Amino acid sequence: MCSAARTFPDGFLWGSATASYQIEGAYDEDGRTFSIWDTYSRTPGRVLNGDTGDVADDHYHRWSEDVGHIKNLGLHAYRFSLAWPRIQPGGSGAFNPRGIVFYSRLVDALLQSGVQPVATLYHWDLPQELEDAGGWANRDTALRFADFAAHVAGQLGDRISVWTTLNEPWCSAFLGYASGVHAPGRTDPAAALAAAHHLNLGHGLAGRAIRSVLGEQAQVSVTLNLHVTRPDDPDSAADRDVIRQLDAVGNRVFLGPMLDGAYPQDLLEDTASVTDWSFVKDGDEATIAVPLSVLGINYYSTSRARRHFGDSPREHADGHKESDVSPWVGADDIDFLTQPGPYTAMGWNIDPSGMTELLTDVGARYPDVPLMVTENGAAFYDRVSADGRVHDADRVSYLHRHIDAVGTAIDSGVDVRGYFLWSLLDNFEWAWGYDRRFGIIRVDFDTLERTWKDSAYWYAELIRANALPPVDRIPTHSAVGSTAG
Ligand code: FCB
């Protein structure tokens, strides 16, 4: 089928996303204190090449230029996150007016440019002091997060279109506290499940705090990286049970309490040898089930798994060592298998059908909850050509196929309200440092100069037309805006 003519519903929200630690830099300015990522990135061996977010894209000083790019791209909405240690140094007690001023100016500039601000309250930069007190494994962190949310809601008020409480709590809990490949780098499966619960609780408390400050009409959301995992052998009951298990500890651990008001029974059983879940107190699940205005979904790729039997050697799709701790708590006897390519520079397989499948599946499970793709995009090893441009045809192709896949889900009746491309700018890609580039705008990490890649021109054309352009339609600089490139 030729998808060149695919159009999107009127009012479909086209955006792009970033996160505070990945772009801001200015790690010690205007009263900001350390987050767990400042500590983690300074720990030898944790981040590729020893990179840190100390400077990152220097967005803290270049935000005005970046809003210019957002405007020239024609984005309807911009999803960014708020650095908790900037706004409330240490994570409790007094708030820092200089921290909020930064975001207040950014939000005003977006609004003046006709761009809706979509604010994420937590994109992984927990104040270090809260981690020292137990981090997300400690219930009090959820209460501190609600205080932070209430304060920010009071300060930014109705200028924010959508409030996203958490970004990808699966990563915070399981990569942060079980496998340790993200900050704070702990490898304690019981702590990871406690963290998952306290993140859920923090979401519920923060969502309720936002509505108590701004009123019931405030748009409250959360962003989940739901996993699309296929059974190695769809006819094998054992493999199908693996998929159920991964769906429980990867997806329903959040969807259950947030949207059904309860943890799934099979999750509690699968993890019974790790924890008795006594950290879930009476009323917590009801608190967590704060009504969602929209559910944010991040999608990048798929995986394939099967039951591991006996003494046969373990297989690991990502090549990690046998001794590494798995993030899949309670699901130890599972092999993840190599997916067919092609792959992005992250080693993630490119599979747009997973996008359609995920949106369709969640849409069927929760037909009353509107969905928004809050992240999708790809890292590739971009090259600057002799003409000074970045001809990132592989990224354009990835975006084309995935946005088309979103359209397929919409065609089948799923209520998808918008799409946010990850990412606006090349940035600090967590444990991969500056080595993996996801931006549609290139950042030269020596000069911090920004250059539109072909994918940025292509995306601007898509937004202008509200229709999917062919991959080779890369408009010229002058066609899209005076400060582009
Ligand atoms: C997601 C994160 C985002 C970015 C992309 C590539 O897991 O939310 O910050 O790193 O992956």
Token output for 381:
């090893």
Crossing angle (nearest 10°) for helices 59-73 and 97-112:
20
- The pLDDT, as a whole number, for residue 317 is 57
Token output for 411:
């065609």
Tell me the three state secondary structure of residue 13.
strand
* Helix (H) or strand (E) run with residue 371 in it: strand 371-375
Question: Which of 24, 131, 168, 285 does the annotation list as catalytic?
Answer: 168
CA of 350 to the centre of ligand 1 (A): 16
Q: Which residues contact 143 (CB under 8 A, 6 or more apart)?
A: 205
Determine whether the shortest distance from the Cβ of 125 to ligand 1 is under 6 A: no
CA of 7 to the centre of ligand 1 (A): 27
- Look at the block and give the residue holding tokens 């304060």: 151
Tell me the three state secondary structure of residue 74.
coil
Q: Which residues contact 367 (CB under 8 A, 6 or more apart)?
A: 415
- The pLDDT, as a whole number, for residue 195 is 99
Domain-embedded: residue 485: no
254 CB-side CA count, 13 A: 31
Atom of ligand 1 at shortest range from CA of 379: 6
End-to-end CA distance of the chain: 33
CA of 377 to the centre of ligand 1 (A): 9
Determine whether the shortest distance from the Cβ of 164 to ligand 1 is under 6 A: no
Residue nearest to atom 9 of ligand 1 (CA): 19
Per-residue DSSP letters for 424-474?
SB----GGGGGGS---SEEE-TTT--EEEBHHHHHHHHHHHHTB---TT--
Determine whether the shortest distance from the Cβ of 420 to ligand 1 is under 6 A: no
Determine whether the shortest distance from the Cβ of 168 to ligand 1 is under 6 A: yes
Q: Is the pTM of this model over 0.85?
A: yes
- The pLDDT, as a whole number, for residue 323 is 43
Token output for 236:
């094998």
Determine whether the shortest distance from the Cβ of 14 to ligand 1 is under 6 A: no
Ligand 1: which of 422, 423, 425, 426 to mutate, most ligand atoms within 8 Å of CB? 422
**Cβ–Cβ < 8 Å for 8, 413:** no
CA of 354 to the centre of ligand 1 (A): 17
Q: Give the single-character DSSP code of 187.
A: -
- The pLDDT, as a whole number, for residue 1 is 47
Q: Can you give the C-alpha Rg of the chain in angstroms?
A: 21
Q: Tell me phi and psi for residue 465, to 5 degrees.
A: -90, -15
The whole domain housing 455 covers 3-479
Q: How far apart are CA 101 and CA 122, in angstroms?
A: 18
Tell me the three state secondary structure of residue 23.
helix
* Helix (H) or strand (E) run with residue 224 in it: strand 220-224
Determine whether the shortest distance from the Cβ of 461 to ligand 1 is under 6 A: no
Atom of ligand 1 at shortest range from CA of 429: 10
CA of 17 to the centre of ligand 1 (A): 10
- Centre a 10 Å sphere on the Cβ of residue 309 and count the other Cβ atoms it contains: 9
CA of 284 to the centre of ligand 1 (A): 28
Q: Considering its fold, how many domains does the chain have in total?
A: 1
Determine whether the shortest distance from the Cβ of 120 to ligand 1 is under 6 A: no
- The pLDDT, as a whole number, for residue 5 is 74
CA of 235 to the centre of ligand 1 (A): 33
Domain-embedded: residue 117: yes
Domain-embedded: residue 484: no
Would you call 168 a catalytic residue per the annotation?
A: yes
Task: For the chain, give the number of residues.
Answer: 485
- Nearest CA to 260 out of 365, 371, 374, 143 is that of 365
Determine whether the shortest distance from the Cβ of 167 to ligand 1 is under 6 A: yes
- Look at the block and give the residue holding tokens 């441009």: 389
Ligand 1: which of 168, 380, 420, 427 to mutate, most ligand atoms within 8 Å of CB? 168
Domain-embedded: residue 440: yes
Domain-embedded: residue 163: yes
Q: Which residues contact 320 (CB under 8 A, 6 or more apart)?
A: none
Determine whether the shortest distance from the Cβ of 430 to ligand 1 is under 6 A: yes
The domain that holds 20 is classified in CATH as: 3.20.20.80
E-only strand ranges, 353-394: 371-375
- The pLDDT, as a whole number, for residue 479 is 58
Determine whether the shortest distance from the Cβ of 21 to ligand 1 is under 6 A: no
- Look at the block and give the residue holding tokens 């003519």: 5
Token output for 12:
């479909």
**What is the torsion angle, in degrees rounded to the nearest 10, for the CA atoms of residue 116, residue 377, residue 253 and residue 354?**
120
If phi > 0 it is left, if psi is from -120 to 50 it is alpha, else beta; for residue 115 that is: beta
Residues of the chain short of pLDDT 50, as ranges, are: 1-3, 319-323, 482-485
Atom of ligand 1 at shortest range from CA of 430: 10
Question: Which of 24, 131, 285, 375 does the annotation list as catalytic?
Answer: 375
- The pLDDT, as a whole number, for residue 478 is 55
CA of 253 to the centre of ligand 1 (A): 20
